[in-house]
Structure 1
Amino acid sequence: MLKLRFPLPVFRNALEIANGKNSRMALKGINANRAAIIISTSFKSSVYHDQVIRLIGTQSVKVIEKSWQGEPTVENLSIVIKELESFQPDYIIALGGGSVIDGAKIAWLLYECPTLSLDDLYRPFSLPTLRGRAKFAAIPTTIGSGSEVSSAAVMFDGVSNSKKAVVTHDFLPDLVILDPELVAEVPNHILKATVADALSHAVEGYVSKIDHPLMNSFAEQAVSIIYRYKNQLDRESWDIQMISDLQHAAMLAGWVQNHCVVGLSHAIAHQLGSFNIPHGLANGLLMPKVIEFNSNDNTVAEKYEKLARNANMVSSSDLSNLFTILVSNQKIMLSFTDNELDMIACNALLDPAARTNPVFFTGDDVKKVLKKCL
Structure 2
Amino acid sequence: MKSFKEVTEIIHGIDAIQYLQRFKDKRACIVTDATMIKLKIVDNIAEIFEKNGMNYEVFSEVEPDPSFGVVYKGLNHIIKNKPQVLIAVGGGSAIDAAKAIMYFCIKIKEELMDTHEIPKPFFVAIPTTSGTGSEVTAYSVITDKEKNIKIPIIDYLMVPDVAILDPEFTKTIPPHITADTGIDILTHCVEAYVAKNASDFTDALAEKSTAQVFQYLLTAYRDGYNMEAREKLHNASCMAGIAFTNAGLGINHSMAHSLGSYFKIPHGRSNAILMPYIIAFNSKKRDNEGYNHAGVKYAQLAKHIGLPASTVEIGVLSLIEAIKVMKKVMKIPATIKEAGVDRVSFMNALEEISGMSFKDICTSGNPKEVTKEDIRNIYLEAYDG
Per the shorter chain, which TM-score range?
Answer: 0.7 to 0.9
Task: Confirm or deny: 8 A CA contact 1:230 1:322 kept in the other structure.
Answer: no
How much has 1:233 moved relative to structure 2? 5.1
Q: Which residue of 2 aligns with 1:294?
A: 282
2:219 is paired with a residue whose SS is coil
Name whichever of 268-277 and 285-294 sits farther off: 268-277
Task: Confirm or deny: 8 A CA contact 1:90 1:133 kept in the other structure.
Answer: yes
1:284 aligns with 2:272: yes
Rate the CA distance shift 1:278–1:231 in 2: closer, same or farther, 3 A.
closer
Unaligned runs of 5+ residues in structure 2 are 286-290, 309-314, 334-338
Task: Confirm or deny: 8 A CA contact 1:18 1:176 kept in the other structure.
Answer: yes
1:316 aligns with 2:316: yes
Give the TM-score, by structure 2 length: 0.85
How much has 1:159 moved relative to structure 2? 6.0
Rate the CA distance shift 1:187–1:322 in 2: closer, same or farther, 3 A.
farther
Q: Which residue of 2 aligns with 1:38?
A: 31
Please tell me the residue identity of whatever aligns with 1:287. M
Rate the CA distance shift 1:109–1:11 in 2: closer, same or farther, 3 A.
closer
Aligned-residue RMSD, C-alpha? 2.3
1:28 aligns with 2:15: no
- Give the distance between the partners of 2:186 and 2:301, measured in 1 at CA: 12
How much has 1:355 moved relative to structure 2? 1.1
Q: Which residue of 2 aligns with 1:269?
A: 256
Please tell me the residue identity of whatever aligns with 1:282. S
Task: Confirm or deny: 8 A CA contact 1:269 1:279 kept in the other structure.
Answer: yes
Name whichever of 28-37 and 280-289 sits farther off: 28-37
How much has 1:31 moved relative to structure 2? 5.8
Please tell me the residue identity of whatever aligns with 1:99. S
- Give the distance between the partners of 1:188 and 1:59, measured in 2 at CA: 35
How much has 1:256 moved relative to structure 2? 1.1
Q: Which residue of 2 aligns with 1:62?
A: 57
Rate the CA distance shift 1:239–1:47 in 2: closer, same or farther, 3 A.
farther
- Give the distance between the partners of 1:355 and 1:47, measured in 2 at CA: 41
Q: Which residue of 1 aligns with 2:380?
A: 371
- Give the distance between the partners of 1:255 and 1:98, measured in 2 at CA: 15
Rate the CA distance shift 1:99–1:108 in 2: closer, same or farther, 3 A.
same
- Give the distance between the partners of 2:381 and 2:91, measured in 1 at CA: 29
Task: Confirm or deny: 8 A CA contact 1:18 1:26 kept in the other structure.
Answer: yes
Q: Which residue of 2 aligns with 1:256?
A: 243
Query: Which of 355, 360, 363 is the matching residue for 1:346?
Result: 355
1:79 aligns with 2:73: yes
2:125 is paired with a residue whose SS is strand
> In percent, how many aligned pairs have the same letter?
27
Task: Confirm or deny: 8 A CA contact 2:256 2:270 kept in the other structure.
Answer: yes
Rate the CA distance shift 1:230–1:63 in 2: closer, same or farther, 3 A.
closer
Task: Confirm or deny: 8 A CA contact 1:208 1:262 kept in the other structure.
Answer: yes
Q: Alignment length, in residue pairs?
A: 354
Unaligned runs of 5+ residues in structure 1 are 1-6, 118-128
Runs of 4+ in 1 over 6 A off after TM superposition: none
Query: Which of 193, 196, 199 is the matching residue for 1:209?
Result: 196
- Give the distance between the partners of 1:187 and 1:175, measured in 2 at CA: 26
Please tell me the residue identity of whatever aligns with 1:93. I
Query: Which of 349, 357, 367 is the matching residue for 1:358?
Result: 367
How much has 1:373 moved relative to structure 2? 2.2
Please tell me the residue identity of whatever aligns with 2:210. V
Name whichever of 189-198 and 166-175 sits farther off: 166-175
2:10 is paired with a residue whose SS is strand
Q: Which residue of 1 aligns with 2:210?
A: 223
Please give the per-residue CA displacement for 1:320-341, whole angstroms capped at 9, x wherever unaligned: 2443324642472234443410
1:142 is paired with a residue whose SS is coil
Name whichever of 43-52 and 277-286 sits farther off: 43-52
Task: Confirm or deny: 8 A CA contact 1:262 1:357 kept in the other structure.
Answer: yes
